[in-house]
Amino acid sequence: MHEETVYDALTAAHGDEARWAFGTGFDDPLAGVDTTIPEGVDPADLGGYCLMLGDDALVLSQRLTEWVTRAPELEEEVAMANIALDLLGQARLLLSRAGSAGVLGRSRERAGPGVPDEDALAYFRDAAEFRCSALVTAPDGDFAHALVRLLVASTWRLALAVRLRGSRDPVLAAIAAKAVPELTYHRDHAARWVLRLGDGTALSHRRAQDAADAVWPRTEGLFTATDVERRLAGAGVGVDPAELRDEVRDVLTRVLARAGLLLPPWPADAPPRGRAGEHGPELAPLLDRLQVVARAHPGGTW
C-alpha cells in the first residue's frame, strides 16, 4: 500500500520502534569491535581524549546547522546540513566511548537514568566542562568565515583521523576509519568554496581574506599537546597534534595561494586553553540552543 506521507512510510518500515528520527535502520559502525580498553591505558585518559575530539565535532556541527536557511544557495544548505550530520555522527561515537571509559562527571546525575552516555555528555554539561578547541566555538561572521573555518578544521581532523586508524584502541581506530572519507569530502568541499570566493569578485575576495585573517588566530593551541595527548601518543592510542602541523600548514598554504589569498601569520604555540575548559563567552549561548529541549524534557523520546 502507498503511504500518504514520509512519516507513514517510516512507521511502516520501523513499526513500534519509529521515533521520527532519520538515524534508525543504519548499520552500527562499531558492530563487532572490541570495546575493551587497551592494556596499560588509563580509562580517564582515553575518555578525556574522546571528549576533546567529540566536543570539537559536536560544537562545529551545531555551528554549521546555523547556516541552514541562510546559505547563499539551496544546494549549499543541503551540503552544510550533511556535513553537520557527519560531524554529529562522529561526536556521538566519540562521546559514547568517553562514557564507556567512565568519563561522565556530573552529567550522569543531571541527565538521570535511561539517558545514553553520549546524550548525557552532549546535553548535560556546562561550558566549562566542554573540551573543544577555540577554532570551533566562535560564531561565523559570514559565509566566507564559515567555509574558511571548515577548511581549517576538516584539514586538521582529517590528518588526525588518518593516523588514528592505527590506534591501539579498536574503537578509536574504527571511528577514525569511518571518519576519513567523510572528512576528505568536508575538506575538499570547503577548499573548492575558498578557491571560488578568493578568485571571484573583488567583494568575495575581500571577504575571503577577512575570513582567513579572523580564523587563523583561532588555531592558537591547535598543535600543542595536552598531557593526556602526550601519554596516549606514547601508548600508541592517540596522536600528538604537533605531528599534524607540517601537513596541515602545507595543505592550507597551497589552498590559500591558489585562491589568491595572503597567508595570515600563524600564531605562536600556546597552551590549548579550550582543552582545559577555558572558553570565550560565545560557547554558552551555543550550548543553550543545543541543550534547551533535552534539559526541559530529560529522558524524553519522540
* CATH code, domain carrying 287: 1.20.1260.10
Residue 222 lies in a domain: yes
3 state SS of 116: coil
Residue 237 lies in a domain: yes
Residue 20 lies in a domain: no
DSSP one-letter string for 154-196 = HHHHHHHHHHHTT-SSHHHHHHHHHHHHHHHHHHHHHHHHHHH
Could you tell me the residue range of the domain that residue 205 belongs to? Answer: 42-296
Residue 30 lies in a domain: no
C-alpha cell at 184: 576528505
The pLDDT of residue 224: 97
The pLDDT of residue 220: 94
Residues with Cβ < 8 Å from 299, sequence gap 6 or more? 111, 112, 113, 114, 115
Residue 118 lies in a domain: yes
What angle do the packed helices 245-258 and 170-198 form, to 10 degrees? 20
The pLDDT of residue 14: 44
The pLDDT of residue 27: 60
Residue 33 lies in a domain: no
Residues with Cβ < 8 Å from 292, sequence gap 6 or more? none
Residue 252 lies in a domain: yes
Burial class (CB in 10 A: 0-12, 13-18, 19+), 246: exposed
The pLDDT of residue 300: 76
* 127: Cα within 13 Å, side-chain hemisphere: 15
pTM: 0.89
In tens, the pLDDT along 233-269 reads 999 999 999 999 999 999 999 999 999 999 999 999 8
The pLDDT of residue 59: 98
DSSP one-letter string for 34-75 = --PPPTT--HHHHHHHHHHHHHHHHHHHHHHHTTTTTSSSHH
Residue 170 lies in a domain: yes
In tens, the pLDDT along 110-125 reads 988 888 999 999 999 9
Burial 222-240 (b: 16+ CB within 10 A, else e): bbbbbebbebbbebebbbb
Q: Are 22 and 73 in contact (CB under 8 A)?
A: no
Closest among 302, 121, 161 to 243, alpha carbons compared: 161
The pLDDT of residue 106: 87
- Which residues of the chain carry a pLDDT beneath 50? 1-7, 9-11, 13-14, 16-26
The pLDDT of residue 133: 97
**How many domains, the chain?**
1
The pLDDT of residue 182: 97
